[in-house]
Structure 1
Amino acid sequence: MRLLLHAGRVADANTLFDQVISRAPVGDRWSRSYVLVFRATMAWRLRRIPLALELAAEGWTDLDSERPKGVAAARTISMLGYLLEGIGHRRAALDMIRLAVHVAREAGDLPTLAQSLQRLGGTLNFRAVDGSPVNADEIFGESRQHLEEGLSLVGPEDPSYWALRGAYSRALAGTGDLAQAQAHATEVLRSGRQREDLWSTSVGNWVLAAVHRQQGDLVTARTLGSRAVREAEEINDTSLLLRFSLDLAAICAELADPVGEAAALRRSVKASRVAAETLQEGLGQALEQRRLAVQAQRLAMAAQEAAARDPLTGLANRLGLERSAPRLLEGTAAKGRVPWLVLVDVDWFKDVNDDAGHAAGDAALREIARLLRRECRSEDLVARWAGDEFVVLLGDASASDVGPAVAERIRAAVDQHEWTMVLGTARRPTVSIGVAAGPAKLDQLFAAADIALYRAKRQGRNRVEVHDTAATSRRDGQHAELG
């Protein structure tokens, strides 16, 4: 696909891409990431922008899971940096390409290192051309060092050699070595024509245009610059087209050629429009992904909440109580206060169901749940434990007798409630309640309140009993002595 694109055969490259994209990537994780990022780069060159962004995001995500190492990792990161540079995510692009060079050095694979150095040098060349003239010499100098190293690693038979040499010729021109720049660019141009590689001829013409411009031969520079722009357009390389057309416009302006300048700027605007469309597409996709993420988060939260809530009464269920209780108990203990647990059990509830029916029994439980909420504060945790049993965990209780007081209010509210509309003439429900205070642990509080509830049942029901912590401690001590 890359060779077809570099030859300007965009339609053939599109056909081949459609055949390739249907196959799932194979190999280890790094190999898979490389295939995804390579496909993203090809999709970008073919103007299939949504697909390019999707593939790039998938490949990029795969890179985040562990420290990159090995040849495939270096190639993937290098390719992704190249793609991000083309898309316009320039800071991330340069950081990523530098990382690719580091990973390639560690891997010890010379062709991969050479390719990574070529992308780093080429990126720095563009930064030097785009940036302030004050910093250009320094940036071109760094680029030249990287590219010289890359050229020392591979020969003309390597796929990255001519790209290295083309970028190197631009770095030479940037550092003022015009004769050497012209010699290297001429060789790149010659080789590109021989190999029918429009990418190489485009870069060669661009460098030669820069050399002739610096030499004051603006007419020749305009001719060469026009060729570079036309060839970049043929191979669908937006990054090259934008850079080359801006340089051509500057040459035409120096020549006082408004027609040529306008034509070059139109091409520049066209390339910029592609970049802008990419940004808009990316923002649209990011917004859609964010919307789906928020939707999924809300559904997950709703599912969690539903799992922790009793569908009949709307109170927290046992799972909800167990999830929320530790935080409430820890907060109470942190304030130096003693937590209270109120355990409520409906008296003779089986008789209510038998006399009035299960629908009326359910209605009675909903009514008791409403009374519990009414008699408790918003910061208290009210839950249906199981069947006809309810739990109230009092939060931020400042008074020493708040537990028994709340329990008595609940008992009286149920006892005095008008039940005729709910149960007709069936037996009116009452509640027995056990109350306990003590350690900030739910299971211990529950066990203590359950002892008090059993006592309330045994002593006649419709009453509140408070667990005697001191008496329990005495019994425990007596058992220890006997043991």
Structure 2
Amino acid sequence: MEQRDPLVAGQIPRLDREVRALLNAGRLPEANSLFDEVVTKVSPGVDRWVRSAVLVNRAVLAWRLGRIPLALELAAEGWTDLDADRADSPAVAQTMGALGYLLEGIGNRRAALDMVRLSVQVARRAGNTDTLAQCLQRVGGLLNFRACAGAPSAAPAIFEEARAYLEEGLALVKDEVLHRALLGAFGRSLAGVGELEKAERVACETLELATAADDLWGISVGNWVLAVVRREQDNLADARTHASRAVTSAERINDTSLLLRFSTELADICAALGDSVGEAAALRRSVAAGRTATETLQEGLGQALEQRRVAVQAQRLAVAAQEAAARDPLTGLANRLGLERAAQALLESTAARGRVPWLVLVDVDWFKGVNDDAGHAAGDAALREIAQLLRRECRSDDLVARWAGDEFVVLLGDAGNNGEVGPNVAERIRAAVDSHDWTMVLGTARRPTVSIGVAAGPAKLDQLFAAADMALYRAKRHGRNRVEVEPSAEIPEIVSGN
């Protein structure tokens, strides 16, 4: 019967507690408006475990307001913040209790009861009496509902367990709202173990306090307990009156969980009275409440799924935009930005394996002449062909990029420490371009060749590029269509040139 979740003052913001008070008074439009004002606000610098408690208890408010996707989002965020290493924190106990309430609403009842039992253990270690009283109310309320819904033979033992929790909570509680919640639940457990006179006194006290506080939740629960007591006393007419009042109050605060329980109770009482009309009306309310609960959950989960789909789609679009920004549209290779983004990780992984990185800098010879002879469209086609040849001669873990214009870069992956690896790859590229059949692309126009500079050494892109650029300059100066290697102290016996 855990529906209240009053929280320790000073940990949950005042406006959040006002939203709860409006909910319990049946003032749902006002509760919704105020909730919109507070839902996104968390005090800066607040303890992370208190923040977790605030988020999850706001999830409870959203759930009671029927805003299921928001409730699930807040619960997930708060649950993520929960840190088991701080199991002595009152805020952790509060968060666990609120999560138990939400799990109960979703229908995961075993997990809900396990969670609220755990919250009691955490609260005991934390040594905060208000938090412990709150957690005791939660577990006692859930046990009451379990006893009502389960096998009659098992009910007395479950009610007795609930009574022990609730009695302990009443001995600790100072907060008036929490006191009424504990008192109402305690009255139901007393009725469940057969202490009808005491249950009646407690129910009447709950009604008196709740009426004075304009607390429809307490009024609803107090009437339910009196209905149970009167039924056990065989005063079915009074039992029907109190059960009807309990159902009406539950409807006003939009609490489908209470409404399901109380309308079922009312239907049973009407059946015992032979009131078929009243029984049918109560059953219709029960069925409607169950349908509303199911439809609300299904709609909420559907909305949450749609929001998740939209978020995933947006993430994919963002990733695609990032990839497009890092890719050369003409050749499909990484562009300069893509090279700079990916190079550092490749260089670091190469160094971590104790290997020396190689950079191969490729420049197309006399490319302006190719454009002049065959046209820019043919020149673009030639660049695409060269990009394909580069891919073919390199491995999948090599980084191949178009640096700018007619210049390409290959950053070799796991090349080992063989001093011939970089030059060999460069020579394969040079030969592939030189021997390629360019007729389909360029016709009789001048066939392109490439000059290549190769360097190995420090795991820094700018230093590798500068060294390879010096080697490329020598290749151009020595006649083009050739490979030159910049000597490196890190690779012994590198062959300079081909």
Q: TM-score range by the shorter chain?
A: 0.7 to 0.9
Query: Partner residue of 1:345?
Result: 363
Output the CA distance in 2 between the equivalents of 1:231 and 1:161. Answer: 19
How does 1:316-465 map onto structure 2 within 5 Å? Answer: 316-321=334-339, 323=342, 342-349=360-367, 364-376=382-394, 381-392=399-410, 407-417=426-436, 428-434=447-453, 453=472, 456-464=475-483
Give the letter aligned to residue 259 of structure 2. L
CA, structure 1 residues 241+469, in 2 after alignment: closer, same or farther (shift >3 Å)? same
Is 1:117 aligned to residue 136 of structure 2? yes
**Could you report, residue by residue, the CA deviation over 1:244-287 in whole angstroms, capped at 9, with x for unpaired residues?**
12233344455665444332221111111221122122212221
SS in structure 2 of the partner of residue 64 of structure 1: helix
1:142 aligns with 2:161: yes
Cα 1:2–1:321 change in 2 (3 A) is closer
Aligned residue in 2 for 1:249: 267
State percent identity of aligned pairs: 65
CA distance in 2, matches of 1:272, 1:74: 30
Closer, same or farther: CA 83–465 of 1 in aligned 2, 3 Å: closer
In the alignment, is residue 205 of structure 1 matched against residue 203 of structure 2? no
How far apart in 2 are the matches of 1:263 and 1:275?
18
1:14 counterpart = 2:25: no
Q: In the alignment, is the contact (CA less than 8 A) between 1:341 and 1:392 conserved in 2?
A: yes
What SS does the corresponding residue of 2:448 show, helix, strand or coil?
coil
Deviations 1:135-178 (A, max 9, x none): 534432332222112211236x8222222111111112223333
Per-residue deviation, 1:243: 0.9
Alignment of 1:281-296 (within 5 A): 281-296=299-314
Q: Which moved more, 1:33-42 or 1:315-324?
A: 33-42
Tell me how far apart the structure 1 counterparts of residues 454 and 212 of structure 2 sit (CA, whole Å): 94
**Residues 346, 413 of structure 2: 8 Å contact kept:** no
The verdict on how the C-alpha distance between 1:90 and 1:440 changes in structure 2, with shifts beyond 3 A counting, is farther
**1:228 maps to what in 2?**
246
Distance 1:363 1:164, change over 3 A: same
How big is the shift at 1:203? 1.5
Q: 1:374 to 1:162 in 2, by over 3 A?
A: closer
Q: Which residue does 1:127 correspond to in 2?
A: 146
1:64 paired with 2:80, answer yes
Q: For residue 65 of structure 1, what is the amino acid of its counterpart?
A: D
Amino acid at match of 2:223: N
CA offset digits 1:301-347 (Å, max 9, x no partner): 2133224322342212345446268669969998x999876542222
Structure 1 residues 329 and 22: CA distance shift in structure 2, 3 A:
closer
The DSSP-based 3-state class of the residue aligned with 1:473 is: coil
CA distance in 2, matches of 1:395, 1:134: 71
Q: Are 1:60 and 1:80, in contact at CA under 8 Å, matched by a contact in 2? A: no
The amino acid that maps onto 1:18 is S
- Please list the CA deviations of residues 37-71 of structure 1 after superposition, one character each: whole Å capped at 9, or x if unmatched: 666655554xx523x54156336524633547877
SS at match of 2:333: coil
Alpha carbons of structure 1 residues 97 and 404: separation in structure 2 relative to 1, 3 Å: same
Residue aligning to 2:9: none
Deviation of residue 410 (structure 1)?
Answer: 3.3
Counterpart amino acid of residue 210 in structure 1: V
TM-superposition CA deviations, 1:451-471 (whole Å, max 9, x none): 765554444221245778899
Q: Distance in 1 between matches of 2:280 and 2:90?
A: 45
Quick check: 300-309 or 285-294, which moved more? 300-309
CA contact (8 A) 1:344 1:391 kept: yes
Amino acid at match of 1:54: L
Instruction: Give, in angstroms, the shift of residue 295 of structure 1.
Output: 1.3
- How many residue pairs get matched? 465
Match of 2:66 among 49, 56, 67: 49
Tell me if 1:27 matches 2:43: yes
CA contact (8 A) 1:117 1:150 kept: yes
Q: What does 1:163-242 correspond to in 2, within 5 Å? A: 163-193=181-211, 197-214=215-232, 220-242=238-260
Instruction: Assess if the C-alpha contact under 8 Å between 2:250 and 2:256 holds in 1.
Output: yes
Q: TM-score, normalised by structure 2?
A: 0.73
Deviations 1:394-422 (A, max 9, x none): 67889x98876664453344335566887
Letter in structure 1 aligned against 2:43? G
Moved more, 186-195 or 158-167: 186-195
Q: Which runs of 5+ in 1 are unaligned?
A: 476-483
Check 1:240–1:317 CA distance in 2 against 1; reply closer, same or farther (3 A cut): same
**Contact 1:318/1:385, CA 8 A, preserved across alignment:** yes
Q: Give the distance between the partners of 1:70 and 1:333, measured in 2 at CA.
A: 42
Partner of 2:10 in structure 1?
none
Which residue identity is paired with 1:309? R
- For 2:230 and 2:35, the matched residues in 1 are separated by 43
Moved more, 116-125 or 56-65: 56-65
Larger deviation: 222-231 or 420-429? 420-429
Structure 1 position 79, deviation (Å): 5.1
CA gap of 1:340–1:22, structure 2 versus 1, over 3 A, is: closer
Post-superposition CA distance 1:375-401 (Å, at most 9, x none): 556665432244433234567889x98
Q: In structure 1, which of residues 272, 278, 282 is the aligned counterpart of residue 290 of structure 2?
A: 272
The answer on whether the counterparts of 2:475 and 2:483 sit within 8 Å (CA) in structure 1 is yes
Check the 8 A contact 1:87/1:275 in 2, yes or no. no
- Cα gap change, 1:92/1:318 in structure 2, threshold over 3 Å: closer, same or farther? farther
Residue 241 of structure 1 and its aligned partner are, at CA, apart by: 0.7
Residues 73 and 390 (structure 1), Cα distance of their counterparts in 2 relative to 1, 3 Å cut: same
